[in-house]
Structure 1
Amino acid sequence: MKDLVSIITPSYNSAEFIEETIHSVFSQTYTNWEWLITDDLSRDNTVEILQKYPDLRIKLKVLKQNGGAGNARNKSLERAQGRYIAFLDSDDLWYPEYLETMINYMQENNAELVYCNYSRCDEYTMQPVLKDFEADTIVTFSNLLKTCRLAPVSTMYDTQRVGKFFFPVKSKREDHVMWLNLLKEIPKGYPIQRTLAKYRMRENSVSRKKKNIIKDQYLVYKDFMGYSTVKSLYYTANWAVNGFLKYSKIFN
């Protein structure tokens, strides 16, 4: 029997895009999944849209208080029963072969964590606006300190090998902290050099606001890694330079 994969999704005011996300999950060639969606008290009709789909594999939880994406992901993780953990935000998309390709690679290569290429797309057209982010490097704790190559939409890990890893709700860079904590426990994550996902680059998303992002990243090292001020500044500078390069890869 194929191993169960748990898809972890936070939703918040996602009515405009979530049906596209739903269709991308239903289109997966790998069908042994459960989809744990935690709605963070949406004010639009996100929940009503989700309730239109009576598939028993969809397990929707609506929070009574807004707590942010990290908290919503944690609520889904608490309920997850699958061997594999995959993350899909409520406005992003997977290609149909995403789950099958990722799981096959992990099983064939005895991998604990894998990540793949993903397209970086316009908010409305979902056409690429930057070159695809390339999964071209084996990820380790050391190189993840300098740049976060792992994105929720394109990364999967094996709980049977590493257990579950939760998101720190007090950090605005919770993804990076979670991946760092995971990479402390395993030697490496492996790249799959295929574009299997689409990331929607939304102008109003927290990750696209630059005003306080440097400070938030500094706190990743200072508060969550426990590094000295000098060491934290060193890694923040590395992260900033690599981040500039990451988002400057426009088409030739």
Structure 2
Amino acid sequence: MVDLVSIITPAYRAAKYVGKAITSVQEQSYPHWEMIVTDDCSPDETREVVARYAQRDRRVRLMAQITNQGPAMARNASLGQAQGRFIAFLDSDDWWLPAKLERQLDSMRRSGAALSYTQFRRVDQDGGKEGRLIKVPDRLTYRMLLGNTAIATSTAMVDRKQTGDFQMTKTYYDDFALWLKLLREGHAAKALHEDLMRYRLLQGSVSRSKINSAAKVWSTYREIEGLGIASSSIHFSRYACNALLKYARF
């Protein structure tokens, strides 16, 4: 039986980059996928760009939010239409290498992991300059992930046969909150030590504000996970150290 992979892509002001993301999916060696791109009321031509790809390839589907609600709700709109056993996440400004789906599916079938993630490299805004390889730990438990930045959204894949259906929480780090929820429930998260994704660094991106990001991680501990101040402080210290190591050099 062939397993369908549903690819979840929120898009906002992505007209310049989303075509690269879609093309990288179309170039996958594994052909059994659907890509559901939800435009979150972009003021640019994001919707028109995605529509052109969807007209040429029925595996690409465009959804459109009526109001701007943020990436978590855009992901939920896509998830609501997803038909695949496996859910893969790809942000509109990132892209995959051609063997990503094939290699990651094979790894998950062998390991039995409900959640998997891969290595990747950062690239500059124009996509021409590649950074160093970002390595990842072999596995992650709930407690380990609380103090780690290892799972990049566009590398993640979830097996819904194991986890059941899920939705994103409307919070700043909705992806981090989901990984924590799955691990808290006892699901296994394992790495594929292969370089399979490119993460684009955009100038002025909200996620590039370290102070803001740190505050949102703390908020995740306290408001989403319900951790006390002492426990939050311990995990935050580990998270900050790992983030410094990860972002110390390009």
Task: Give the structure-2-normalised TM-score.
Answer: 0.95
> Aligned partners of 2:187, 2:47: CA distance in 1, in Å?
40
Tell me the CA shift for residue 69 of structure 1.
0.8
Give the structure 2 partner of residue 160 of structure 1: 161
**What does 1:225-244 align with in structure 2 at a 5 Å threshold?**
225-244=225-244
The answer (yes or no) to whether the contact 1:25–1:94 under 8 Å persists in 2 is: yes
The answer (yes or no) to whether the contact 1:71–1:167 under 8 Å persists in 2 is: yes
Tell me the CA shift for residue 6 of structure 1.
0.3
The answer (yes or no) to whether the contact 2:37–2:50 under 8 Å persists in 1 is: no
Deviation per CA, 1:185-218: give whole Å up to 9, x if none: 2343111111011110112222111232222111
Give the structure 2 partner of residue 28 of structure 1: 28
Tell me the CA shift for residue 159 of structure 1.
0.2
Give the structure 2 partner of residue 185 of structure 1: 185
Give the structure 1 partner of residue 92 of structure 2: 90
Give the structure 2 partner of residue 100 of structure 1: 102
Q: After superposing the two structures, state which structure 1 stretch, 94-103 or 230-239, moved more.
A: 230-239
Tell me the CA shift for residue 137 of structure 1.
2.5
The answer (yes or no) to whether the contact 1:165–1:182 under 8 Å persists in 2 is: no
Give the structure 2 partner of residue 47 of structure 1: 47
Tell me the CA shift for residue 111 of structure 1.
2.2
- Unpaired runs of at least 5, structure 2: none
Give the structure 1 partner of residue 123 of structure 2: 121
Give the structure 2 partner of residue 217 of structure 1: 217
Amino acid at match of 2:221: Y
> Aligned partners of 1:36, 1:187: CA distance in 2, in Å?
25
Q: What's the % identity of the aligned pairs?
A: 36
Tell me the CA shift for residue 45 of structure 1.
0.6
> Aligned partners of 1:108, 1:226: CA distance in 2, in Å?
34
> Aligned partners of 1:80, 1:71: CA distance in 2, in Å?
14
The answer (yes or no) to whether the contact 1:84–1:156 under 8 Å persists in 2 is: yes
- Over aligned residues, Cα RMSD in angstroms? 1.4
Tell me the CA shift for residue 76 of structure 1.
0.7
Give the structure 2 partner of residue 4 of structure 1: 4
Amino acid at match of 2:161: Q
Amino acid at match of 1:87: F
Tell me the CA shift for residue 234 of structure 1.
2.1
Amino acid at match of 2:220: V
**Aligned length, in residue pairs:** 248
Task: Give the structure-1-normalised TM-score.
Answer: 0.94
Give the structure 2 partner of residue 149 of structure 1: 150
The answer (yes or no) to whether the contact 1:126–1:200 under 8 Å persists in 2 is: no
Q: After superposing the two structures, state which structure 1 stretch, 120-129 or 155-164, moved more.
A: 120-129
- Unpaired runs of at least 5, structure 1: none
**Candidates 78, 81, 92, aligned match of 2:83:** 81
Deviation per CA, 1:194-251: give whole Å up to 9, x if none: 101111011222211123222211111111111112222222222112111111144x
Give the structure 2 partner of residue 58 of structure 1: 60
> Aligned partners of 1:212, 1:108: CA distance in 2, in Å?
39
Matched, 1:138 2:165: no
> Aligned partners of 1:119, 1:151: CA distance in 2, in Å?
10
- SS of match in other structure, 1:37: strand
- SS of match in other structure, 1:167: coil
Deviation per CA, 1:56-107: give whole Å up to 9, x if none: 1112111110011111011111111100000001110101110011111111
